[in-house]
Structure 1
Amino acid sequence: MSKTIVILGASYAGLLVAHKLLKHTLPVVKDFKVVLVSPSTHIYGNLASVRAIIPGQFSDEKLWMEIAPGFKNYPSGAYSFILGKASAVDPSSKSVTITQNDGQEVQQNYDILVVATGSRVADGMPWKNEGSYEHGKETLHGMQKRVQSAKSIVIGGAGPTGVETAGELGFEYGKVKDITLITSGDHVLVGGLPAAHAASVEKQLEKMGVKIIKSTRVTSSSTTSDGHTDLGLSNGTTLTTDVYLPTVGVIPNTEFMPSNLLNDKGELIMDNYLRVKNTDSIWAAGDVIDLQRSQVMLTEAQGKALAKNLDLYLKGKDLVWYKTDGPPTLAVTMGRSKATGISGSMKIPGLVLWWFKGRKMGTDMLPKYVTGAGM
């Protein structure tokens, strides 16, 4: 009897798994159908969002690509798309409740469920797009207008997103706008780069006109009557700015999953076969899982491993253990001409990172995810 594989999420992990199953597994196994569920008709190149908030850097066509054309060549009946979001999952009946974008609810049964719904950020920032294609564009365009007209901008959080945002704004506006980066650590990129390496990042940002406030948190944010933002800081002071860009508080999109399958961060509790623990038919990859930190490079590795194990599972073969002990790797851009990073204890040359990441900020990867080319 034909199996139904429901994939929740159509970004990096979800599209990768869908294409690999349809391209490589279906010709052999034949008796399954892929149902892809997403609230957006397009994949969003969110890696580029830190640069895209500056008007004129990327066209909408570079940042978003339509999903449907990439699946047109698969056999009829092997694939379908539902425009909506999962609102509940019942593992006992193997069913998903999906709230479609038009507000209607549908029930979708599954034999295999893949959760690849990614994560979202607080305060409506454009670092992610959890809604429709139209909503994502509206959010980004609104931010571009605010950034362009602002005289002062504060970035809250100095992880990779915060540092890259500060670098892009400093590169473009450092001489004409007041740009401030606030970090709770004693240096930027705490947990990602050693202090000595981070110091060189700070010097580069400061050369571009970015002011860095260390060992300080933003504790409150409120909009004033004239449209500015008052920020309460942990050092007891208040900072007023035209635009506040928080870059902390990533939330896994898993609220529709049973709570007994989640840890206290809202992440799915996984085994090393990329299967959700205490289930026999739910699998996952990307920002929703507890095995590794959120990073596109790791999401791609997980998606490939998951697709391989689903292929083996459908063929009745032994699964392969997914290894999570590789060297920590971090790559950050600092504007449109600089980049730095490490792999394990080795510093990666900035020119290499600029070439592979800094030039196009991942927008060149979107076609392969949409079409499955090379997967």
Structure 2
Amino acid sequence: MTRTVVVLGAGLAGLPVAHYLLRRTSAHHEDLRVVLVSPHDTFYWKIASVRFALPDQMDEDKYMFPLADQFAAYAPEKFELVIGAAETLDPEHNSVGVRVGDDLRAIEYHTLVIATGSRYRDDMPWKEVGTTAQTRASLARLRARIRDARSIVVAGAGITGVEFAGELGSRYAKAGLKEVTLIGAEALPLEKRVKDNVRRTARAELDKLNVKFIGGAKVAAQGDVDVKDAKTITLTHPDGTSETLVADLVVPTFGVVPNTAFAPEGMRDEASGCLKQGGDLRAPGYNNSMSLIPRFYSPFMCHVYPSL
């Protein structure tokens, strides 16, 4: 009897999981079949997105890799690639509903690995934006606006914001071609969990690139920050004061949302939207459902297969 492992997501977690199952686990389980489900038909090297989001910085074949090519070596009876998005999950009947074009396909599984990851609000291309075509379109819009802007505000001074501001500084601000401003909620860039000496170093490096940093400030909710031209935003400070800032372009780098809407409400944490999971990454109450969507970035978790 064939045992089907469905892997939802072909990103930094799902892709190596699928390869591991096909290369290693299947050697001990000849009845194993892997179905990889992904809404986009390419692997997106999102780690470098802060660099290739700039115009003319990197060719597409350096950050988008066709998924079909990555799995061409596997026999059809052992592997299937489904280009579609998970819409429903019925853990009681071991079935996941995947939207493929206009059809909703039901795929039954013996074991389910959820590696759907997360996305940024406002369709920012720091991570995948829906399909491959939608990601390309988002990148094209951002690049065009960066090219035309003379002043750019980067909203959010976490890892993504700092790296993106650094890329803008290296390319434009250091040479006096564009004004670049980074806004962060803390007095120093990066998060509090990062050591202060590292944060101070990041600030110093941004200064060298002629990137202006405004710390201890948050973008007011009414600003509706998204990628827009000639945008005026309001900043609020801890002492209650506020200031306005005008730029040709405002780019948000915050607002990560887990891709878990397809899962039943009882499987999701109400506050974070992440899937509930135990220490072994299994969904509580469902020994054949595993989640590779941790609260913190740690994609390479490949110790979940001995239960097959």
TM-score class normalised by the smaller sequence? over 0.9
**What residue identity is the alignment partner of 1:90?**
D
Q: Which residue of 1 aligns with 2:217?
A: 216
Give me the identity figure in percent: 34
Give 1:237 shift.
1.7
Structure 1: how far apart are the matches of 2:177 and 2:267? 50
Structure 2: how far apart are the matches of 1:121 and 1:229? 20
Q: Which residue of 1 aligns with 2:281?
A: 274
Q: How does 1:37-186 map to 2 (within 5 A)?
A: 37-100=37-100, 102-174=101-173, 175-186=176-187
Q: How does 1:1-375 map to 2 (within 5 A)?
A: 1-100=1-100, 102-174=101-173, 175-219=176-220, 220-221=222-223, 227-235=229-237, 236-263=242-269, 264-285=271-292, 288-290=293-295, 293-294=296-297, 298-300=298-300, 302=301, 304-305=302-303, 309-310=304-305, 312-314=306-308
Give 1:227 shift.
3.9
Residue 189 of structure 1 aligns to a residue in which SS? coil
CA contact (8 A) 1:157 1:247 kept: yes
Give 1:222 shift.
5.2
Give 1:232 shift.
1.8
Structure 1: how far apart are the matches of 2:98 and 2:15? 18
Higher helix share: 1
Structure 2: how far apart are the matches of 1:62 and 1:197? 29
Structure 2: how far apart are the matches of 1:173 and 1:84? 39
- Could you tell which deviates more after superposition, 232-241 or 113-122? 232-241
Give 1:212 shift.
0.7
Structure 2: how far apart are the matches of 1:190 and 1:127? 18
Higher strand share: 2
Structure 2: how far apart are the matches of 1:26 and 1:130? 32
Residue 239 of structure 1 aligns to a residue in which SS? strand
Structure 1: how far apart are the matches of 2:229 and 2:209? 27
CA contact (8 A) 1:276 1:283 kept: yes
TM superposition score normalised by structure 2: 0.93
Residue 48 of structure 2 aligns to a residue in which SS? helix
Paired positions, count: 299
Structure 1: how far apart are the matches of 2:231 and 2:13? 36
- Could you tell which deviates more after superposition, 209-218 or 275-284? 275-284
Structure 1: how far apart are the matches of 2:36 and 2:202? 41
Unaligned runs of 5+ in 2: none
Structure 2: how far apart are the matches of 1:210 and 1:227? 20
RMSD: 1.7
Structure 1: how far apart are the matches of 2:266 and 2:284? 10
CA contact (8 A) 1:185 1:215 kept: yes
Give 1:31 shift.
0.6
TM superposition score normalised by structure 1: 0.77
| Deviation >3 Å, runs of 4+ | none
Unaligned runs of 5+ in 1: 315-375
Give 1:270 shift.
1.4
Structure 2: how far apart are the matches of 1:200 and 1:71? 42
**What residue identity is the alignment partner of 2:111?**
I
Give 1:44 shift.
0.5
Structure 1: how far apart are the matches of 2:98 and 2:122? 25
CA contact (8 A) 1:221 1:229 kept: no
Q: Deviations over 1:52-86 (max 9, x none)?
A: 12112110110100011121222231111111111
